[in-house]
Amino acid sequence: MDQRQSIDALDIDLLRALRDAPRAGVLDLSRTLRVARGTVQARLDRMERTGIITGYGPDIDVVAAGFPVQAFVTLEIAQGALEDVATELAALPAVLEAYATTGSSDVLCRLAAASHEDLQDTLLRLNRSPSIARSTSVVVLSVVVAPRKLPLLEKRPRSGPRRAPAYRDAP
């Protein structure tokens, strides 16, 4: 069975409870969801093992941490230079994330900076790279939809029997 299709209503409620109270323990989660502690632990173990849960680290607000200027930058890179560009981007602390893309650009990055001058310095450094042919940047004015994942999981149809008694369909 495809591991990606094994998320059910209890898993989503567990993920939601973790999002709402990331420091909650297994016992607290089991009480909140009204399922056995062993069920919660088994679900967490399975979601960790299959890569659905990738960590429990703190979410960090870079604006609150002193980096209020953010930008999305698209890069057009030299043919075959993706590995070199990935290494260069990883070496820049201002690069929060980067993705190889299709379309008119090759890489999409999200950057954060303490000031517009800081952002400009990072952009100039990127443009000095022999692997980067062109960059285009767009400064973020405000967050319209914050990064999220649960709405996507909640929308996906789920099939299969519900194993936890509290999550079984009523007759």
How far apart CA 124 and CA 146 sit, in angstroms, is 28
Say what the pLDDT of residue 155 is: 86
Architecture of domain 69-139: 2-Layer Sandwich (3.30)
Q: What is the CATH code of the structural domain delimited by 3-58?
A: 1.10.10.10
Positive/negative CA dihedral, 65, 71, 77, 82: positive
Half-sphere exposure of residue 119: CA atoms within 13 angstroms, side-chain side? 21
Whole-prediction pTM value? 0.81
Q: Would you list the domain boundaries of the chain? A: 3-58, 69-139
Say what the pLDDT of residue 58 is: 86
How far apart CA 109 and CA 121 sit, in angstroms, is 15
Say what the pLDDT of residue 3 is: 44
Per-residue pLDDT of the chain (171 residues; tens, 9 = 90+): 444 557 899 999 999 999 999 999 999 999 999 999 999 999 999 999 999 999 988 889 999 999 999 999 999 999 999 999 999 999 999 999 999 999 999 999 999 999 999 999 999 999 999 999 999 999 999 999 999 999 998 887 665 555 666 666 644
